[in-house]
Structure 1
Amino acid sequence: MTASPGPPAPAAPPVDERLPLLRLLPLAAQHVLAMIAAPVSTVFLIAAGLHLPPARTASLLSATLVLCGAGALLQSFGVLGTGARLPFMMLPGGAAVAVFLETAHAHGAATASGSVLLAAALLLAVLPLYGRLLRFFPPLVMGTTVLVIGINMVHVAAPMAVAGRRPALVTIAATALCFLMLRGAWRQLSVLIGMVAGTAAAALTGGDAFRTVPGDAVLALPQLLPYGAPRFDLLAALPLMVLALASLAEATGQTVLNSEAVGRTPDPARDVPRTARADAVTSLGAGLLGGPVMVTSAENIGIVRLTGIRSRFVTAAAGALLVLSGLLAPVARLLAALPTAVVGGAALVIYAVIAAMGIDMLRRTDLADRAASTVVALTLLAGLLPVLAPQLYAPLPGWARPLFGSGVPAAALTAVVLSALFGRVRPPRSPVEPQPPCVSPSSCRAGPAGR
């Protein structure tokens, strides 16, 4: 007798789906091209601020690309509780770059590197306490934080798009048309196709569309301790250390958002420490290689939502491409030469999608409740004032300006503090309508208006 075949093996969750190589590579390249402007511009900014020679700049670019790739691999695969096993990318932290340069100017580059190491060590030290801090990150906090992230990133990307209006508009229009009109695998490449169309428009318009990146080396190896032995100064490191703590709110929102985007039930108590631990480990590498604090990127979550491809192996392949790009100097120079306006146009689409995700998370909160609506209003104020009226923060002392004068950290801290305060002073609900605890956005019930 022939044994009857057993039941078919259950399909892998979308986040664990393994794609064929020919399909995987263009999807991975799409993630790389969408985020490449951030590490490249960060390196050029640091090089200009520290007056680095071309050889040192090339070495720092190599190190930053390798760190971005290693961080993406760590987040995608997860090793020994480090990395969330979600499709995440890694970037140099936006506000942290400004603090790094300020520290370098005031105390020297070696002290700035030491501050990065201290901030990463502090983040690692507080992560075992995250379970106790979880109640400070309800959906109200996370949704508002994600919304502010999207708006602030649109503000960051807008000047890049203005650098070449026509290529940026072509990139945006082509991405939108591809998403609306194409289906299947072609639709999943909408961002990449849009960038190709924008690059073609930049080539046709001529001018200074493509940046010139000098160099003729084939291999580019990161340099260990490029500023000498790190110097540890707790007072000088305080702004970066506070930013590292504030990043927990951002990491919470991004991890929950990414979990929902890939169809996984959010579990902040389990996944957020893994996400933040990968940030901290990669930042330790950045401190040794001369870079700023590294953080998990939100922009690739927009690509996941746009394309519907939720596999973490795509971002793992993107991480491998970044490591390869960092070690092969010609590839790094080619990526660094991408037209700024094209990258900016693609970023505008992606960050707008992230802002919309924040609105979707807020939709699950009862905004008819006066306390909740007040928290949202004041958090938006704290997150947008640094963008709309940065001069208001000029009188602040140097240690406070990077924290409160930067939209995302200020919004995250405001949301956490106000949510906790209003939770304490809010009168208890009537026992007739008991409310279940809200562990994650997907487990929260709608408010009275939504029942």
Structure 2
Amino acid sequence: MSSPRPTVPRTRQQAGDADRVVHPVDESRPLGRILLFGVQHVLVMAATPISAIFLMSATLRLGPALTVNLLSAAFVLSGIGSLVQSLGPWKFGPRLPFVMLPGGAPLILFLAIAEQHGLPTATGAVVLTAVFSFVVLPVFSRLLAFFPALVIGTMIVIVGVNLVKVGAVLVTGRPGEPGFADPVNLGLGMATIGFTVVFYLLSTGILRQLAVMLGLLAGTALAAVLGAVDFKSAGGGLFTVPQLLPFGSPRFDLVAALPLMLYSLASMAEATGQTVINAEAVGKEIDRRTAVPKTIRGDALTSVIGGFFGLPLMVTSGENIGIVRVTGVRSRYVTAAAGVVLIVIGFLAPVTHAISVVPSAVIGGTAMVVFAVITVLGVQMLGRCDLEQHTHTFVCAVALAFGLLPILVPGAYAGFPPNLRIPLESGVAVGAFVAVVLNLLFHHIRPGIAARVAAARTESDNSNR
């Protein structure tokens, strides 16, 4: 038998060098590569601010000049938010590779408030909700113990499925609308996915890490050959500057803002899940009690600023998490570079128009792959939750049932009152609420009751003896 190798003690210099090892999240790369990877993030997520503002414009019947102004503001604030979350100044931002976007349920609530009470009231509601987030954050931070991996994994699966559906709708269109399931759009979406797979399969090194962007560019080139790109919409001036208070002075109405303020609690829960899954995707250990509040503060700060520029609530996006996992590039400086690119785009009108001409089917094909990765991350987290325990399986199953219902069956709550229907139609919010409540009942309240009953029985048996 060979004797064990003696342990060589480390010198102070070696120990210091080991302590100074830079985590990939904090690793700086050559500027050219960082910009390339940042542009890749922007190309994948640019459809969200564009579609959000176009939906605002169509719903509220805004003029072209105001629409361009809001689109510029959306890019600039998305960039500022991405910088805050990625660089983490002071107590804002978790220093993880995050981007921020408008859209989703906050946009729908914003539009509902604007239609019922006017745009100044909707703007005031955004500012009030952001301030409300700061106020309730200390209370919410104490509740993070009720968000174990079982709850967060379930939330991430629901988020991923919802995002995959969003990407799929970009490819197919909405049922009942003109052009639904158009073969050309379906072909472009599938071809974009195919291009991405080919680049990922055949490339190595930096090209493989850029497979998502290369697949999107290849899909756009194919769309141009097929005549599916509208270059006429790429016109316009050279510069554009976001306008402060585009709808006039905000009107602060607590009653009108209440639905959005209540939704912000669900948004905090979603930010919790995204912070945890982002940290897992990049392999960084975090303290949820400090990292999650930093994410929420970053959301609230960006939303306060965005409110004064006429935007809905700004939220951390799960889209970039999928890109990080696919490419393997974990540096937060990449999403910080994406933030800088977004700000530049917001001021350069030609670049904004150039991005807006990329067909939605191409963006949707790319998004489906990236968003599906998020679903896989949620499944991986659930796989570590000992689902062989029946209570774990039951909590996950019931939460998924409630959370996926409004996603898979749109309009399921159409018969409910509007103020109740809006939060119910957010599958993420409903799924998170059900998962938290069931986890509390099965793993906190029920064991305590069972322990007290058992203690009472023991005491009774002892007294009878």
Which residue in 2 is equivalent to 1:165?
A: 186
Q: CA deviation at 1:423?
A: 2.0
Q: 1:352 aligns with which of 369, 372, 389?
A: 372
Which residue in 2 is equivalent to 1:246?
A: 266
Alignment of 1:69-218 (within 5 A): 69-162=79-172, 164-206=185-227, 208-210=228-230, 212-213=232-233, 215-218=235-238
Q: CA deviation at 1:23?
A: 1.2
Q: Deviations over 1:84-139 (max 9, x none)?
A: 10000001140111111111101101111111111111111112223311111110
Counterpart residue identity of residue 89, structure 2: V
Q: Distance in 2 between matches of 1:220 and 1:136?
A: 46
Which residue in 1 is equivalent to 2:446?
A: 426
Gaps of 5+ in 2: 1-10, 174-184, 452-465
Q: Distance in 2 between matches of 1:254 and 1:292?
A: 20
Q: Deviations over 1:189-220 (max 9, x none)?
A: 010111011111111111x4336436522111
Q: CA deviation at 1:351?
A: 0.6
1:371–1:426 Cα contact (<8 Å) kept: no
Which residue in 2 is equivalent to 1:321?
A: 341
Counterpart residue identity of residue 432, structure 2: A
SS of 1:426 mapped into structure 2: helix
Q: 1:402 aligns with which of 398, 419, 422?
A: 422
1:43 paired to 2:53:
yes
Deviates more, 1:322-331 or 1:179-188: 179-188
Q: 1:290 aligns with which of 293, 310, 315?
A: 310
Q: Distance in 2 between matches of 1:48 and 1:140?
A: 40
Alignment of 1:226-237 (within 5 A): 226-237=246-257
Q: Distance in 2 between matches of 1:427 and 1:211?
A: 64
Counterpart residue identity of residue 24, structure 2: P
Q: 2:288 aligns with which of 244, 264, 268?
A: 268
Counterpart residue identity of residue 428, structure 2: V
Q: Distance in 1 between matches of 2:202 and 2:435?
A: 39
Q: Distance in 1 between matches of 2:387 and 2:13?
A: 51
Change in CA separation of 1:430 and 1:17 when aligned onto 2, cut-off 3 Å: farther
1:363 paired to 2:371:
no
Which residue in 2 is equivalent to 1:385?
A: 405
1:24–1:314 Cα contact (<8 Å) kept: yes
Which residue in 1 is equivalent to 2:460?
A: none
1:65–1:322 Cα contact (<8 Å) kept: yes
2:37–2:334 Cα contact (<8 Å) kept: yes
Gaps of 5+ in 1: 432-451
Deviates more, 1:136-145 or 1:173-182: 173-182
1:412 paired to 2:432:
yes
Q: CA deviation at 1:224?
A: 0.9
Which residue in 2 is equivalent to 1:29?
A: 39
SS of 1:141 mapped into structure 2: helix
Deviates more, 1:319-328 or 1:417-426: 417-426
Counterpart residue identity of residue 337, structure 1: V
Counterpart residue identity of residue 223, structure 2: A
Q: Deviations over 1:69-90 (max 9, x none)?
A: 0000001111111011000000
1:33–1:192 Cα contact (<8 Å) kept: yes
Q: Distance in 1 between matches of 2:39 and 2:193?
A: 18
Which residue in 1 is equivalent to 2:67?
A: 57
Alignment of 1:301-320 (within 5 A): 301-320=321-340
Deviates more, 1:59-68 or 1:5-14: 5-14
| Paired residues, number | 427
Q: Distance in 1 between matches of 2:300 and 2:45?
A: 20
Change in CA separation of 1:201 and 1:136 when aligned onto 2, cut-off 3 Å: same
TM-score (norm 1): 0.91
Q: CA deviation at 1:267?
A: 1.7
1:166–1:201 Cα contact (<8 Å) kept: no
2:234–2:350 Cα contact (<8 Å) kept: no
2:48–2:103 Cα contact (<8 Å) kept: no
Q: Distance in 2 between matches of 1:155 and 1:301?
A: 17
SS of 1:427 mapped into structure 2: helix
Q: CA RMSD for the aligned pairs?
A: 1.9
Q: CA deviation at 1:161?
A: 1.6
Q: CA deviation at 1:392?
A: 2.6
1:256 paired to 2:276:
yes
Q: Distance in 2 between matches of 1:260 and 1:390?
A: 31
Q: CA deviation at 1:165?
A: 1.5
Which residue in 1 is equivalent to 2:179?
A: none
Change in CA separation of 1:395 and 1:332 when aligned onto 2, cut-off 3 Å: same
SS of 1:44 mapped into structure 2: helix
SS of 2:417 mapped into structure 1: coil
Q: Deviations over 1:385-432 (max 9, x none)?
A: 11222333112221121111121111111211221122234337999x
1:238–1:399 Cα contact (<8 Å) kept: no
